[in-house]
Structure 1
C-alpha cells in the first residue's frame, strides 16, 4: 500500500492546521527520534492516557517524516468531519469483533510491507490504572509483529493529560503545559519469532512490549511504576467506555 497523493495532501492540510494549534497549547520536549526505523516498515506502540494522545503522537511522527496511520475505533469513522479526515488519511478502522480485528491487522500488514509505520495502542483503550500507568496489554501489536517480523517501537509521552484530562469536556491551557515524548529502541522479540504463534507466546510478547513501554513512561515521569500491572478484568472493570469504573454486569 503506497501512500497516494490524496492522502499526503490531506496530511499536509491537517498539519498546517493542527501543528500551530499544538505548538500554541503545549511546549515540546521530544527525545529518541533516532530510534525510529528508516529503512523498513514498523509498529509504533504508545501509552494511552487521554483522547488527544493520537494528535500528540501523530504530531511527533509527522514532524519526523513518518506519516501516522492508526488503528482507530470504527465508530470514530462515523463522526462528521473526523470520519472524513480518518478515511482521507487511510487510517485503519477496528471493530470489536474477532473478524473485524483480523481484517484490520491485514490492512496494517499492507502498510508495513510498503515501508510505512502503523500505530497500535497496545492497551486497546485509555488506561484504567488510577495513576495512569500502562495497564495490561492486548495482543494485537505482538501478533502483527510476529506475523510480519516488523520492529516494534515503544513511544512514551506525558503531559497531554494536563491539557485534556481523561474523558474531560474542556481544555486546560493555562499555565502552559509541556508535551514530553520519549522513543525507545525496538523491543527485542527475537525469542518469540520463528515458532508457532500461540496464546502463551502472544501474552509473553505483549508483556515484553508493555515492560519496555512502562520503563519509558517511568523515565519521563521520574517515578517507579507499580510492581503489578493493572488488569481491568481482575478488577471487574469494563475495558471500554467512559463508565469503566462500573463493575461488569452491573447496571449503569
Structure 2
C-alpha cells in the first residue's frame, strides 16, 4: 500500500468517525485526465478533508514550513503532508506566485488533479472573497476543466484555523462539488487580464452558489490587513 493510500485510509476512517462529513456530487470529478478543483478556504482542516473525500489523489500547494520542521514532530509533519499530495513552495518570496503557478501546471500536464483555493488564503470571517486570477491562467494554459467545490461547516469545527477540531455539538461538515466548467472558448487568451478576471469571477460565482457564503469583492489578504 502506498503512503497516500495508507494515510487516506487511516485519516479517512478517523474523519468519518469523528466529523461525519457529508459529500455531495463527488462523481462530478472526471475519473481521468487533468482536473482543477477550486473552492473556498475556511480553516486548516480543509486541506485534510479534501484528499480523503475524492477518489483521485489531489495535489496542492502548501507552505514549505510544513515540511522543514526539526525533530520528530517536523519529520512526521513532512511525512504526512507530502504523503497526502502537498507540494511545498516558498510563497513568501517575490517569485512565489510564479513558482506556485508553474507547479500547478506541471501537476496538470501530468494528467493529475490539482486543488487550489482561489482566495489565496483562509477567509478571515467566513465570507467568500475575491479570487486571484492564477486559477484562470492554469485553466487556460492547460485546458483542464475546473470543478468548483465548497467546504461548509469546517470553520465551526475548527474556529480560527488552528487547534484541535471540535467534534459533536451538532457540528457537521459538508463538501459539495459543482459541475465541471469548460473554458476552452478562451484558448490562447491566458495573458488577457479581462479574460482572466472573467474566468476567475465565474469560478467564484459557482463556489458562492455551492457554499451559500456572502461574497465580498475584495481580496482576503486586504481584509486581514484591515
TMscore range, shorter length: 0.7 to 0.9
Q: Does 1:192 find its partner at 2:179? A: no
Q: Residues 21 and 88 from structure 1, CA distance in 2 versus in 1: closer, same or farther, beyond 3 angstroms?
A: closer
Where relative contact order (Cα < 8 A, 6+ residues apart) is larger, the structure is 2
Q: Over the residues paired in the alignment, what is the CA RMSD in angstroms?
A: 2.3
Match of 1:221 in 2: none
Structure 1 runs of 4+ with >6 Å offset:
none
String of CA shifts for 1:119-172, please: whole Å, max 9, x gaps.
Answer: 0111111013x3x13211111111111101111110112122222112343432
Please show how residues 121-200 of structure 1 align to structure 2 within 5 Å: 121-128=117-124, 130=125, 132-195=126-189, 197-200=191-194
Structure 1 segments unaligned to the other structure (5+ residues): 1-7, 219-224, 248-252
Aligned residues: 220
The TM-score normalised by the length of structure 2 is: 0.86
Q: CA deviation at 1:238?
A: 4.3
Q: Residues 75 and 198 from structure 1, CA distance in 2 versus in 1: closer, same or farther, beyond 3 angstroms?
A: farther
Q: Residues 16 and 176 from structure 1, CA distance in 2 versus in 1: closer, same or farther, beyond 3 angstroms?
A: farther
Task: Say which is worse superposed, 46-55 or 73-82, in terms of deviation.
Answer: 73-82
Q: Give the whole-Å Cα distance in 2 for the aligned partners of 1:168 and 1:116.
A: 29
Q: Give the whole-Å Cα distance in 2 for the aligned partners of 1:121 and 1:74.
A: 17
Match of 2:12 in 1: 19
* Bigger Cα Rg: 1
Structure 2 segments unaligned to the other structure (5+ residues): none
The TM-score normalised by the length of structure 1 is: 0.78
Indicate the SS of the match to 2:130.
coil
- Residue 110 (structure 2) aligned to one of 97, 114, 134: 114
